Homo-oligomer: A and B are copies of this chain.
Amino acid sequence: MATQISREKVFFAFSPALKEIARIPQGEEVVMETHDCFEGQIQTTNDLVDSLDWNHVNPATGPLYIEGALPGDVLRIDLLEISVGKQASMVTLPGEGALGDVITEMETSILKFENDQIVFKNKVRVPMRPMIGVIGVAPADSAVPNGTPGPHGGNMDCTLITAGNSIYFTVGVEGAMFGAGDLHAAMGDGEIVICGAETPGVVRFKAEVVDLKGLPTPFIETEKLVAVIYSAPTVDEAASLATHRMAKFLTDFVKIPLNDAGMLMSLVGELKFCQVVDPLKTVRFEFPKAVLAEYGFQLRK
């Protein structure tokens, strides 16, 4: 039976000082509840962002101690299922986000869920595409607030972090100290006003240490592709680093000659935005698994 983790215990920074709330054996299913990014403070259109307690924003449930995970290990999280809550919220924050210079009015919108669709202002229906905004492990050195992405994961807001996919992290401290939260019922690449359809939910997953030391993490695996995620102060820097790290993965792990790797990245690789609104910007470089297979490489033996 799966281990159940309630959303009662949360943390607000991925830190080497975190103390676990539970120990999880590798390969065992975990069913973990998460708060929305506002820790439930926004329930109606009257709950505006100026009434928020900002010390309770971006909670991650956890941390979970993954048994046997040691610093330097690569930890694979298989995301098996993501269920969302009963509704979602979106807000505008004058002065913040990619349109903060033109948006002047604070507003909260409550989005209902109906038949796997999200209903915006009783007018627009868009497909449900649940994903995880904040997910990661404790860094080895210093604490990173949950609102910030980095090499340890955190607030990457990457739409590939969804059920059916796997995400790989490099373990920073013994037990990894894994946590997640900030689900979005849907979000577009870019996350223009710094929110998706913010919702509480439940994540079913399992964690396992895999023999891929040196993998450029955070690293994503879907049915069709792999992706390297990188966060940096500017999109240009994040894009350059994501590109270089994917090239290194293709040459070092897949053993594709560098020129071929570069040409294939130009031909069928895809540089994509995750978000442009957090303290660091996040970019991913996607590459098709079908090409890796032609070079005899597979992530799972």
The interface of chain A, by Cβ under 8 A from chain B, is 90, 92, 97-99, 102-103, 105, 107, 109, 118, 120-121, 123-124, 126, 186-197, 234-236, 239-240, 243-244, 247, 258-260, 262-273, 276, 281, 285, 288, 291, 294-295
Q: Which of B105, B258, B263, B272 contacts A272 (CB 8 A)?
A: B272
Q: Is the CB of B263 within 8 A of A120?
A: yes
Q: Which of B107, B234, B243, B264 contacts A120 (CB 8 A)?
A: B264
Q: Which of B186, B267, B288 contacts A268 (CB 8 A)?
A: B186
Q: Is the CB of A247 within 8 A of B99?
A: yes
Which are the 7 A-B pairs with shortest beta-carbon distances? A190-B271, A192-B266, A193-B266, A192-B265, A271-B273, A235-B235, A193-B262
Q: Is the CB of A105 within 8 A of B240?
A: no
With CB as the reference atom, state the residue of chain B lying closest to A101. Answer: B244
With CB as the reference atom, state the residue of chain B lying closest to A195. Answer: B266
A123 to B290, CA, bound (A): 11
Q: Is the CB of B102 within 8 A of A190?
A: no
A193 to B197, CA, bound (A): 37
Q: Is the CB of A262 within 8 A of B121?
A: no
Q: Name 7 A/B residue pairs within 8 A (Cβ), A-sorted.
A: A90-B266, A103-B262, A120-B260, A123-B295, A187-B266, A189-B272, A195-B263
Q: Is the CB of A188 within 8 A of B270?
A: yes
A8 to B268, CA, bound (A): 31
A239 to B118, CA, bound (A): 26
A235 to B272, CA, bound (A): 12
Q: Is the CB of A271 within 8 A of B236?
A: no
Q: Which of B99, B194, B264 contacts A243 (CB 8 A)?
A: B99
